[in-house]
Chains A and B, each alone.
Chain A
C-alpha cells in the first residue's frame, strides 16, 4: 500500500501528467512525420518538373533515345482517350448501381451488391489489368486504348458506386415523399428529384474516380501497352502519361528522366485539382443537405 501514501501519489500524478503530455507530443510527431513525404513529393515534383514545361512538352511526341527536346503529346492524348472512354463506361454503371442500392435495394441482393462494391475497391490494379488482358486483349489480338478503358472501368465502377450511394442517401426523404404524394411515379422521382438534388455529390464521385483513372499505371501497362506516336484509334495500342513516367524514370537518358518529372507535374496537378475540387464540392453539398 505504500504507493497510496500522499507524497508518492502526488509524484505519480505529476508523472502521469508528464506521460500524457509526452503522449500528446508523440501524436503531433506522427502528424509531422506523415506530412514530410507529402511536402517533399510535391516540392520535388514542382522543382524538377516545372522547368520541363514548355509548348514543346505538350505538342511534341517522344524524342529518340539520347536526343534533346521532345514531349509527351502522345501520352496526354492517350490518357485523355483511355480515361475519357473509361469514364463514359463507368459513370452510368456506377451511378445506376448506386441508384439501385439507395432507391430500390432491399434484402439480400442489396447486401451482396454493397459488399461486392466495397471489396472490389481493394482489387489490386495490376490484377484488373491481367483480367482485361485475358478477356479483351487476347480476344482482339491486340493491345488497345479500349482495353485500357475497360480495365479502368473495373476500378472506377465501384468507386463511383460507393461515393454516389453515400451522396444519394443524403437526399432528404421528405423530398421523395413529397414527390410521391403529388403522384409522381417512382422512376420520375428518382430521375427528376433525387439525382438532381444529389448532382454535385455525384460529380464529386466522378471526379474522384477520374483522378484515380489518370494515375493508374499497372492496368494500362497490360492492356494499352503504350505508343511513341499520337494515336486516336481506340482499337490501337495507346500511350498514357503515368506509363510514360514509369518507362522514362527507369531509363538511362537524362532527357527522358526530366520528361518523366514534367509528366509527374502535369499528372500531380490534375489529380490534386480533382481531389481538392471534389473535397470542396462535397463539403458544400454536406452543408446544404446535412
Chain B
C-alpha cells in the first residue's frame, strides 16, 4: 500500500506547503478584490451619509422653507435655496432643449455615415469635446462666447421670439454680462457628447433587419429612421437625456463663470442667475463655522447628488432595457 500512497492522486490531495501557499494566494487575491469592491459600495454609502449628517441641522432648522424661501442671508443665518434651485432648473432645461436635437441628429449621423474615413474622425472629435475640462469651457465662454451671444443672439431673440405674447417675458433685456441664456448654451455644448455617445450606443443595437425591412418596403432613409430606428431607440434616448440632465445639474465651474451669479429670480433668460453647484463653489471656503452656512451648503450638495445619482440609475436601467430589446 505504500506504493499507492506515492501515487499522483494522493500526493495531489496532500496539504503540501506548496499547495497551501497556492491556495492562500487565491484567497488573498479574491478576498482583497471583494474587500475593495465592497469599499466602492461603502464609498457611495459614506458619501450620502456624511452629506446627510452635515445637512441635517439645516433641514431641521428650516424645514421645507429651505426649498421655498428666497432669502439666502449668511449674516443673519437665514437660508432659502429657491434662487439656486430655480437657476439650476432653468439652465439645465435650456441645455437639454438645445442639446437633445443636435445630439440625436449627431448620433444618427454617426450611425448612417458608411465611410470609415469620415466616421472615425467624427467620432473622435465628439469624444474630444467631452474631454475638454470645464474650466476651459468657462474661460472660452467668458471671453468669447458670452460677448458674442450678448451682442448678436440676445438682440436677435428679443426681436423675434421676444415679440410673441408669452415668450416675451423670457427675453426682457438686461445690461448684465452674465446671464442664464449663456450658461444654458455652454452647458448644452458640454452635454452634447454625453447624450450623443449613449444615444449612438442605443441606436447601434437596433436590429438591422428592422431597418432593412422598412427599406425593402420602399421607405426612404428618413422614413426608415422615423418608423423603424427611432421608436426602437426611444427609451434609450430618454435614458441618454437623463444622463445628460444629471451632468448639466452638477456642472459647476463653467456655469458659475457665465451665469452672472445674481441672486434674483427673474423670468428673463437674459438676467443673471445662480445655480446650486455655483453657490457651493463660491461660498464654501468663506463660510463661517459658527452659523448654519456649511450645513445649508451641504444640504444643497445632498439634494444635488441625490438627483444626479437617481438620474444616472434610471438612465442606466432605461438604456439597458432599450439595448436588450434590440438584441
Contacts and interface: CB of A to CB of B under 8 A. Distances in A.
A27 B308 contact: no
A222 to B, nearest CB: 5
A186 interface: yes
Contacts of B36: 92-93, 96-97, 100
A30 B105 contact: yes
Contacts of B122: 31
A104 B309 contact: no
Contacts of A271: 131-133
Interface stretch (A56-64, A187-195, A196-204): A187-195
A131 B109 contact: no
A185 B23 contact: yes
B244 to A, nearest CB: 10
Interface stretch (B155-163, B166-174, B204-212, B278-286): B278-286
B308 A187 contact: no
Contacts of A134: 50-51, 53-54, 298
A37 B281 CA distance: 26
Contacts of B128: 38, 272, 275-276
A215 B33 contact: no
Interface string A277-288: 001000000000
A133 interface: yes
Interface string A155-193: 001100100000000000000000000000111101100
A41 B140 contact: yes
B138 interface: yes
Dominant secondary structure at the A interface: helix
A99 interface: yes
Q: Which of B25, B109, B304 has the most chain A CB atoms closer than 10 A to its own CB?
A: B109
B70 to A, nearest CB: 22
Interface string A230-274: 000000000000100110011000000100110010011001101
B313 interface: yes
A218 B277 contact: yes
Nearest to B21: A185
A23 B41 CA distance: 45
Contact of B29 (A28, A190, A260, A264): A190
Contacts of A125: 250, 252
Contacts of B324: none
B64 interface: no
Given A113-B40, A246-B253, A271-B131, A99 B280 contact: no
Contacts of A120: 40, 43-44, 309
Contacts of A211: 131
B229 to A, nearest CB: 12
B129 interface: yes
B222 interface: yes
A259 B54 CA distance: 37
Contact of A122 (B22, B47, B308): B308
Interface residues of A, number: 92
B133 A267 contact: yes
B246 interface: yes
Nearest to B111: A27
A208 B282 CA distance: 28
A289 interface: no
B312 to A, nearest CB: 4
Contact of B139 (A116, A249, A279): A249
B257 interface: yes
B106 A267 contact: no
B108 interface: yes
Contacts of A20: 220-223
Nearest to B224: A20
A27 B108 contact: yes
Contact of A123 (B33, B137, B196, B309): B309
B149 interface: no
Given A100-B37, A113-B37, A134-B51, A275 B32 contact: no
Nearest to A99: B33
Nearest to B42: A116
A131 B301 contact: yes
A144 interface: no
Contact of B220 (A17, A30, A115, A275): A17
B139 A40 contact: no
A53 interface: no
A4 interface: no
Interface of B: 22-23, 25-26, 28-30, 32-34, 36-41, 43-44, 46-47, 50-51, 53-54, 101-103, 105-106, 108-109, 112, 122, 124-129, 131-140, 142-144, 189, 192-193, 196, 220-223, 225, 243, 246-247, 249-253, 257, 277, 280-281, 284-285, 297-298, 301, 304-305, 308-309, 311-313, 316
